[in-house]
Amino acid sequence: MRWHGNWIKPWQVEGGRELRVYRSMNMSEKTLCDAGCRILLVEDNSEHVFIALTVIRQILGDTSEVIVAETADEALELLSQFTEHDRPDLLLVDLRLPRNGGFSVLSAARSYETLAHTPMFVITSSMYDRDIAQSYELGASAVLCKPLSRARLKEELARIGLSGGMLPL
- pLDDT tens digit string along 130-140? 999 999 999 99
Residue 54 has pLDDT above 70, yes or no: yes
Exposed, middle or buried by CB within 10 Å (0-12, 13-18, 19+), for 165? exposed
Q: Going by C-beta distance under 8 Å and a sequence separation of 6 or more, which residues neighbour residue 3?
A: 22, 50, 53
- CATH class in words for 7-160: alpha beta
CA distance linking residue 89 with residue 119, whole number of Å? 7
CA distance linking residue 29 with residue 96, whole number of Å? 32
CA distance linking residue 119 with residue 128, whole number of Å? 22
Domain boundaries, the chain: 7-160
Backbone angles phi, psi at 15, to 5 degrees: 90, 5
Cβ-contact 152, 144 below 8 angstroms: yes
Residue with the larger pLDDT of the pair 95 and 127 = 95
Tell me the mean pLDDT in the region 49-67. Answer: 83
Residue type, 122: V
pLDDT recorded at residue 30: 39
The 8-class DSSP code of residue 34 comes to H
